Amino acid sequence: EKGGYASFMLKEIAEQPKAVADTLLGRIDASGSLTLDEVRISAAELREMDKVVIVACGTAFHAGLIAKYAIEHWTRIPCEVELASEFRYRDPILDQQTLVIAISQSGETMDTLMALRHAREQGSKVLAICNTNGSTIPRESDAVLYTHAGPEVAVASTKAFLTQLVACYLVALYLGQVRGTKWGDEIRAVIRDLARIGDAVEQVLGTMEPVRELARSLAAQDTVLFLGRHVGYPVALEGALKLKELAYMHAEGFAAGELKHGPIALIEEGLPVVVVVPSPRGRSVLHDKIVSNIQEIRARGARTIVIAEEDDEAVVPYADHLVRIPATPTLLQPLVATVPLQVFACELATARGNEVDQPRNLAKSVTVE
Ligand code: BG6
């Protein structure tokens, strides 16, 4: 059932272009608009929403962090993202004008379920983004947008994460569509780019051999750090989480701008640091700043592993290892930038002799609080 792959995780990483395409299927009409009839919250209600709150755990939480950038940019609705396990214990401000989005692959995570129950008790509408038909979280929500990743067996989430991102982008764009905010050529262009993104993921998958080799060479390391900015910051967090889960290594993700406020003290000779570089087009200020960050850590001895778009020449002099990804609109970049990090963690874990599908101490769905 692993279809010739050594692990479910490798199989699921390889299935990502299809998972992404399947999650878009039937949701974009011929005119390039979104048809999300399954979101059974009326357009009138969605127009009334004045805040979005996303609750999730683990990898799904990282999808939520990325969604915030898209939702606020495309809809101008304030969006908060919170760990489901923290949410209800701090008396959050919720009402009928709050749209709560609960993201969960399994649909059974108790922390997320308790958070959504709390939100509904306060009168908020809950939209679930879920990969498991008929599971508890969608059953208890007002509406559900299913991700179509297919069954995910490996404990560490890969294809479900990419489809959660796609679903979050769809919700953000749909909110923009029904509310008429920023609707127009920019959004249509994004929808077109989204429809093509599976090919970009496929392209990344075809170039992963050097990443595998690099991962194997790092098997004896104790620590790997990950840096990113903007949507690359949650990608860095996700890269670090994968390494913790699978390789049992000390791995931390930081916002690159925070380096100077503390983490730079960790940099020492030979320390591997993975840097997710934003597109040199678009928000180029961020790009320039992260290139400076790469210079700073390299000057202090870090071994830099740089994930950058294919036309980005500025990073070349400072990259000990350069991983190329296709040029992608900034907000969509996580869909391609995460893939090398998944491969990196999977290969590193395997090189350390770990069982990647069933990491120690973890369960696929955690049904206790
Ligand atoms: C954890 C899993 O226990 O639950 C993670 O090990 C997962 O991989 C997290 O991201 C959330 O799970 P779900 O099913 O709610 O997305």
Phi, psi (5° rounding) for residue 140?
A: -95, 0
Model confidence at 32, pLDDT cuts 50, 70, 90, reads: confident
Among the ranges given (65-74, 133-142, 218-227, 273-282), the one the predictor scored with the smallest mean pLDDT = 273-282
User: Which atom from ligand 1 is nearest to the alpha carbon of 164?
Assistant: 16
User: Which atom from ligand 1 is nearest to the alpha carbon of 245?
Assistant: 6
Asked whether the predicted pLDDT for residue 185 surpasses 80, the reply is no
Cβ–Cβ < 8 Å for 252, 240: yes
Dihedral sign from CA coordinates of 25, 238, 207, 357: negative
Cβ–Cβ < 8 Å for 337, 321: no
pLDDT of residue 68: 98
Task: Give me the long-range contacts of 25-31 (CB less than 8 A, separation at least 24).
Answer: 25/148, 27/170, 28/191, 28/194, 28/195
Both tokens of 28, joined, read: 């974009």
State if pTM tops 0.90: yes
CA 194, distance to chain mean position in Å, is 15
Asked whether the predicted pLDDT for residue 277 surpasses 80, the reply is yes
364: annotated active-site residue = yes
pLDDT of residue 110: 97
Indicate whether residue 113 lines ligand 1 (CB < 6 A): no
- Rounded to the nearest 10°, the torsion over CA 191, 193, 194, 198 is 150
The span from the CA of 354 to the CA of 359, in Å, is 7
Asked whether the predicted pLDDT for residue 184 surpasses 80, the reply is no
ipTM computed for the complex: 0.95
Indicate whether residue 105 lines ligand 1 (CB < 6 A): yes
From 54, 112, 141, 157, the mutation candidate for ligand 1 (largest count of ligand atoms within 8 A of CB) is: 157
User: Which atom from ligand 1 is nearest to the alpha carbon of 111?
Assistant: 15
Ligand 1 center from residue 358 Cα (angstroms): 13
Asked whether the predicted pLDDT for residue 189 surpasses 90, the reply is no
Indicate whether residue 299 lines ligand 1 (CB < 6 A): no
Specify the DSSP element, H or E, that contains 352. none
Both tokens of 234, joined, read: 């949650």
How confident is the model over 223-243, as pLDDT tens digits? 999 999 999 999 999 999 999
Asked whether the predicted pLDDT for residue 92 surpasses 80, the reply is yes
> What is the average per-residue pLDDT within 325-333?
94
Model confidence at 39, pLDDT cuts 50, 70, 90, reads: confident
The span from the CA of 264 to the CA of 319, in Å, is 17
What average pLDDT is seen over the chain? 94
Ligand 1 center from residue 253 Cα (angstroms): 18
pLDDT of residue 183: 63
Model confidence at 182, pLDDT cuts 50, 70, 90, reads: low
From 8, 13, 59, 133, the mutation candidate for ligand 1 (largest count of ligand atoms within 8 A of CB) is: 59
pLDDT of residue 48: 94
277-316 burial by CB neighbour count: b if 16+ within 10 A, else e?
A: bbbbeeeeebbeebbebbebbbeeebbbbbbbbeebeebe
pLDDT of residue 186: 76
User: Which atom from ligand 1 is nearest to the alpha carbon of 132?
Assistant: 14
DSSP class of 38: T
How confident is the model over 56-75, as pLDDT tens digits? 999 999 999 999 999 999 99
What interhelical angle do 232-247 and 334-351 show, nearest 10? 20
